[in-house]
Amino acid sequence: MQKRGQVTVFVIMALVVLIVLALLFFGREEIRDKASTSTNVGKKLEVEMSSIEKEIKECLTKESVGFIQKISERGGYLEPVKSMNYKGKNLAILCQNVPGKDYCVNGMFSVKDLELRMNKYLEDNLVGCLTLSGFSDDYELEKGEFQVNTEILKNNIILTLKLPVKLRKENLEQKETGLLILSVLKQSL
């Protein structure tokens, strides 16, 4: 009787092993598909994040070049307070005569002032092109407030934009907490 009990235990264990193997065999494609899908989604989120970075950099470059062109044409001001028309352009008067003296009062501003003006201009104008509306079709896009910093050097301008961005699809998330875009313009003012 004891031998029958042992045989029964072995038969039951063999059946359990066969059932587990059958489930693994028939369910392997489903498991593989789930793993493949999550890998594909992760890669897609990485590609989309790099596309977002590219668009942000293009936006930053376009707006900053626009600022540089405007102030270059107007003598360092966006809207000159005292100006004169020269060959169809409204130019700032940077040195005003002092009556009865051989010198003038300088109306120029420092590089630091120009950096602050450029930061303000970019903060006001980047809002329009940083909507990133074309990127939220297949997934959830979340972005925070951006910060702009400008550093004007002798032969170039270094622009830094910090923008938190988060992409989410299904259970996967691609997060750039301080997405940093650095753009160097090789233009002198």
- The reply to whether 40 falls in a domain is yes
- The reply to whether 95 falls in a domain is no
| DSSP SS3 for 175 | strand
pLDDT in tens, 4-16: 667 777 778 888 8
- The reply to whether 13 falls in a domain is no
- Could you give the CA distance from residue 120 to residue 131 in angstroms, rounded to a whole number? 18
- The reply to whether 14 falls in a domain is no
Q: What is the mean pLDDT of the chain?
A: 76
pTM: 0.64
- The reply to whether 181 falls in a domain is yes
- The reply to whether 172 falls in a domain is yes
pLDDT in tens, 78-100: 776 777 788 887 777 777 788 88
Residue 42: give the domain boundaries.
36-75+110-185
Q: How many domains is the chain built from?
A: 1
- Under 8 Å between Cβ of 157 and 184: yes
- The reply to whether 141 falls in a domain is yes
Look at residue 185 and tell me whether its pLDDT is greater than 60: yes
Cα dihedral sign, 54-56-164-64 = positive
pLDDT value for 189: 43
- The reply to whether 94 falls in a domain is no
